[in-house]
Amino acid sequence: MDIRFDNKVVLVTGGGGGIGRASALAFARAGAKVAVTDRDVAAGEETTAQVKALGAEALFIAADVMQAAQVQAMVTQVVAHFGRLDCAFNNAGIEEEHMRLADCEEATFDRIMGVNVKGVWLCMKYQIAQMLAQGGGAIVNTASVAGLVGAPKMSTYSASKHAVIGLTKSAAVEYGRKGIRVNAVCPGVIRTVMLERAVQADPKVAATVAGAHPIGRIGEPDEVAAAVLWLSSDASSFVTGLAHTVDGGLTSV
């Protein structure tokens, strides 16, 4: 199936690398106009340059998704530049936690919940307002398999991703009759900077997590991007409120 986004405007948060960058590039290849946001200016600008190199229109906006004023300004800038907002991929997130629940510091808890939950909520708040004004749109949020099952030594991260799925399902119910679809992707272990950090902390992690997936390997960012594009496209026009796993069968074990 050839999924196209010609003349569609797409916003990707956390677009500076990994799944965000892969998705921004995939949207560009499919004909979209792409707005990339990230706190890391250099990384976000690099993604934007790569999008432009594919011949697509692109805009970079530096934004911290925990700051309401910055998120509102981000959406405003996208609409001012491109005229509308058709699709949003809320991918910005952090993990920053490899410890048992009782050992997690309050500051770590607040930071993870701030980015992963408040950030997604703020993004949806302003994206939905714009989509209501223009008559519809599609939103995809990055959750995780840790939002579907428990994650030892990542209890706060797991809680935050369960919350993302709750936000996704609730928004899907609230706005389905308004032409706005809201879904989530739930990746398994994907080859990203997050995985690199875990491997640096414990070199045995790579082999362990690869073997945990029934498919027998770690996932690639492009494989998650493919699911994001499908959920954002008219090909999934009767799909909303879905927590879509891209996990090599991990949650089937």
Residues forming the active site: 157
The DSSP secondary-structure symbol of 118 reads: I
Q: Which among 141, 24, 19, 7 has a CA at the least distance from the CA of 85?
A: 7
Tokens of 104: 């997690």
Tokens of 244: 């879509």
- Residues 103 and 147 sit within 8 Å (Cβ to Cβ): no
Q: Which among 76, 155, 62 has a CA at the least distance from the CA of 112?
A: 155
CB atoms within 10 A of CB 22: 24
How far apart, in whole angstroms, are the C-alpha atoms of residue 8 and residue 158? 33
In sequence order, the 6+-apart residues with CB closer than 8 A to the CB of 85 are 9, 11, 75, 78, 79, 127, 130, 131, 134, 137
3-class SS at 133?
helix
CA dihedral 183, 168, 24, 149 (to 10 degrees): -90
Q: Is 138 exposed, middle or buried (0-12, 13-18, 19+ CB in 10 A)?
A: buried
